[in-house]
Structure 1
Amino acid sequence: MNNDDHDSSLPDGLDLRALSAFVDGELPPHERAAIEALLAQNPQAAARVAAWRAQKAALRALCGAPQPFERSVHDERGERGERDGGPSFIVVRRGAPWWQRAGLAACWLALGAGLALALGPLAPRLTGGAWNGIGGQPMNFAQRADIAYAVYTPEQRHPVEVAASEEAHLIGWLSKRLNRPLSVPSLQEYGYSLVGGRLLPGEAGPAAQFMYENRNGARLTLYITGISRDETAFRLFRDGNRRTFYWVSDGMGYALSGPIAEGKLRSIAVDVCSALGGKPEAWQ
């Protein structure tokens, strides 16, 4: 191992190269299991891995790469959450020439189209009922909410545009920009306090992001935007260790994102939905 691959903040058995290969899914099963065991005992290294995955998801989304598969709430399984943390650096690897990438993309596009035609009628059976629209992909605002979480929660000095100390101004400003009266539900009973919020570009207009934080520095975000599509499902979108529960109510799309266990995040999302005038009891 090169000296450049060593970091004194990492425990024995972990180095930067191994973590990078772990995040990229390049390790054999036995090595991956060993690193997962070490990460479970080292929150600092686990937070670093979570941050790299967040960066990777944001870069993949910005480059138009396929998003991870979506599951319905009814297929949820409780999983251990991980705390978010700030990245140390981004690992960049030399890519293939553009003409190779273009040819490979064309091959995958043709293959995907063929599979879609062949397997489309069987999709509900193959996915356990989680098929939701073309390709089983989540609604666009849920993807945007996940990306916004990945981009802004690692920020320490500027995570929001308007701080919670100016909550009245924050709500008034974002309500005016979204042309809809907004409110910020309290998450104090779950140990999360409001950090503040910001204005973001949505799919067809402005969107708002409210950020919460607990004593350990873990963060949740609530993403709100106008949406024309009528949706009655309460659904889950996953990417790495991040989960996003999202729903539509009265012409508005809502998405609660965070790196905590699905069961806990779902409970919070149900309360948030109810506090904002939704009817989550219809989706249980």
Structure 2
Amino acid sequence: MISMPPSERDLHAYVDHQLSDSDRQLVETYLAGNAQISARVRAWQQDAQQLRAALSGALQQPANPDLDPAMIRQRMKRQTRRHLASAAMLLIAVGIGGVSGWQARQMTLVSTQLPMSDALQAYRLIAQQGLLPADYKAGDDGNMQGWLDRYFNQASRLPDLTGAGFRPVSGRLLSTEQGPAAMVVYEDGGGHKISFYVRPPGPHNYLLPRGSRSDGGLQAEYWSGSGYNYAMVSPADTPTAQLLKQTLNF
């Protein structure tokens, strides 16, 4: 039995005729009272019909997961996000020019041999030097988690650091060779900053064990979960770094 309101995955299952009769009736009742979502689902259904018509001969062959309409939509969505993130990084490099543009390029090319090097470099560029402007500020509508979910809806939730005196204040969409990444900056009442960084796993889908490392005066606590790599970055050898490590149970 699906939960209500139905998730995007439930709606895709409805379009692809993968729900039970009872679940299908629940979704249809929900769509009848939600015109905007109903229009989106009808568009998906039309896409699916066109795909089935175009592949009518191929559909007589053994099932191929790569041709599943839901998988095709997911791949198109990932490609769109990756292109948007890459375009954003290119505009940044052109717009700020000179040293800052070169540093933005270096962040996308940083070595993958050391875990979460790009998270440390992102902290330097955004939290320390302020060279890359924020895409989103908490004051815009106060929903930093909602902003992050637009790009990483399957990722782990933002850490709750209110007990340590930190709250999320801004977010920045970035680009890696594996796809879009994002950094959320937290700040306390004294202006001290830490960051939460999420990115796709590295080459060969490389996930990270829990660990930490220092680099250039910064400390990174990193881990993996829900198909992504994460890092919390703060200045090393400070009370903030110790507090962060205790809060994350590292």
Which structure is larger by alpha-carbon Rg, 1 or 2? Answer: 2
Structure with bigger helix share is 2
Q: Which has the higher contact order (CA 8 A, sep 6+)?
A: 1
For normalisation by structure 1, the TM-score amounts to 0.43
